[in-house]
Amino acid sequence: MELGDLEIYKLSREISKDLWKIYSRLDWQDKKIMGNQCISASDSVGANIAEGFGRFHYLDKNKFNYNSRGSLLETVHWVEVLRERGKLTVNEANIIKEKLNKLHFKLNNYIKSTKKQTRLS
């Protein structure tokens, strides 16, 4: 299996693309205050999945998977802030949060399966 085949990685990239479209329409002050942090957090989700995927030992893999989960929750925070401040419509926020919730569930399952791999070896 390659990284690009991993469903959680593909979903994280999709979320980053969705948020980049929103980021692109923000004015410079909103980008500076909220947008940059939101983009950084959402990009970090996929980057940490990728880095963990390339590691051998399950503890090393999951260190990055846990970082990814933290960045995912930070992304949820920024999506909520952007919605509260009128930079996202309720519909846009709901669509992105639905994808984030799906990714959160799948990432937790991926972490569990990674832990189990060591017991089977």
Q: Which listed CATH number (1.50.10.10, 3.30.1330.60, 1.20.1440.60, 3.90.1720.10) goes with 3-120?
A: 1.20.1440.60
pLDDT in tens, 15-61: 999 999 999 999 999 999 999 999 999 999 999 999 999 998 888 99
Residue 120 has pLDDT above 60, yes or no: no
pLDDT of residue 59: 87
Residue 119 has pLDDT above 60, yes or no: no
| Residue among 87, 71, 88 at smallest CA distance from 37 | 71
DSSP assignment string, 37-96: HHHHHHHHHHHHHHHHHT-SSHHHHHHHHHHHHHHHHHHHHHHHHHHHTTSS-HHHHHHH
pLDDT of residue 102: 98
The answer to whether 75 touches 41, Cβ cutoff 8 Å, is yes
